[in-house]
Structure formats: C-alpha cells, structure tokens
Amino acid sequence: MIDKYRKLVEEQLKENNISLYDVEIVQDLDDVPGRHLVFYVEQNGGFDINTIELPSKIINEIIDAQSDLDDVDYVSVTSPGAERALKTKEQLKDAVGDYVHLDFMDENDNLTSVEGTLASFDDDILHIQYKVKNINKKMDIAYSNVKYARLAVKF
C-alpha cells in the first residue's frame, strides 16, 4: 500500500521541486489514536508553516481521489526533521558530508555507536570521521553492520 501512494504523489511533488523523503504508516501519532499515513517531504531551503501548504494540498488532492483508504484514519504531511532517520542506501549516500549517528549490530573498534561526519559511502562501506577527546579518528563500517542511522546535530 505504501509503495502505491509513494508512486501516486512522487511525480506531482517533483514537478513542484519537492522531494518525497519517505512514507510510512504510524499507529497513534502525537497522541492521536488511529492509523496515520505519513508523508515526509523536503525541498531546498526547507519548509515553514506557509510553504508546507503546497505539498499538503498536492498530496491531499491525490489521496482524496483514492477509494481504498479504509485502513487509514488520517493523512499527515511533514518534514523529516533535523535528525531524520537514514533508512536506505540512497539516503546514506545523500548524507555524505553530513554529521550522522550510527548504531551497530556488532561492536566496531569496541564501540556500539558513533557520531561523526560521513566522509564517504562506497562499496557498502561507510567511512566515518569522528573525535575522541579532541583526537581525530576514522572508522570504516560495513553497511550490513548498521542497525540504525540518522542525521545528528553537532554541538
């Protein structure tokens, strides 16, 4: 079902210089009970309360035309946020140069997680630059060992 809605809205959003980051079904979103079909959208320069209206309108018009939404109570449109999850290889490749947080399935250099700059991602290996006590370090992590990845805010 999610792929169907992704395909329906993606092209219309692209025509308006908006990219579809992800689509998911969430149970009980923000203390609102029910099943929510959530569209995460992006555009260069980001969104504010006024500019999020366009992707909301596009998506709602497309979804309203569908007759098989019986298993969804709400449709939501939002940005993926500053610390968005990086769920796919494509999203990780797009994050090269960004500050990221990675959790590992198995320890890597005696660590179960790391935060640092994603220097590159090639041949299913993520190359991370990070610091420990102000000492620059590098780590190579197999994509298959990444349990969870997200952008991180550097303080």
**What pLDDT is attached to residue 107?**
93
**What pLDDT is attached to residue 51?**
81
Domain ranges of the chain: 2-78, 89-151
Residue type, 69: L
Architecture of domain 89-151: Roll (2.30)
pLDDT band at 10 (very low <50, low <70, confident <90, very high): very high
**What pLDDT is attached to residue 155?**
82
Question: Residue 148 pLDDT more than 90?
Answer: yes
Which residues pair with residue 150 across a beta bridge?
Answer: 85, 101
Instruction: Tell me the per-residue pLDDT of 38-82, one tens digit each, with 9 for 90 and over.
Output: 999 998 777 878 788 999 999 999 988 887 777 888 999 998 989
137, 153, 98, 86 alpha-carbon torsion, rounded to 10°: 110
How many CB atoms sit inside 10 A of residue 96's CB?
Answer: 15
For the 2-78 domain, the top CATH level (class) is alpha beta
Instruction: Tell me the per-residue pLDDT of 105-142, one tens digit each, with 9 for 90 and over.
Output: 999 889 999 999 999 999 999 999 999 999 999 999 99
Rounded CA separation 107/114 (Å)? 10
Q: Are strands 32-42 and 74-78 parallel, antiparallel or unpaired?
A: parallel
**What pLDDT is attached to residue 130?**
97
Common-topology check for domains 2-78 and 89-151: no
How would you list the strands of the sheet with 111-122, edge to edge?
Answer: 135-142, 125-132, 111-122, 99-108, 146-151
Rounded CA separation 50/48 (Å)? 5
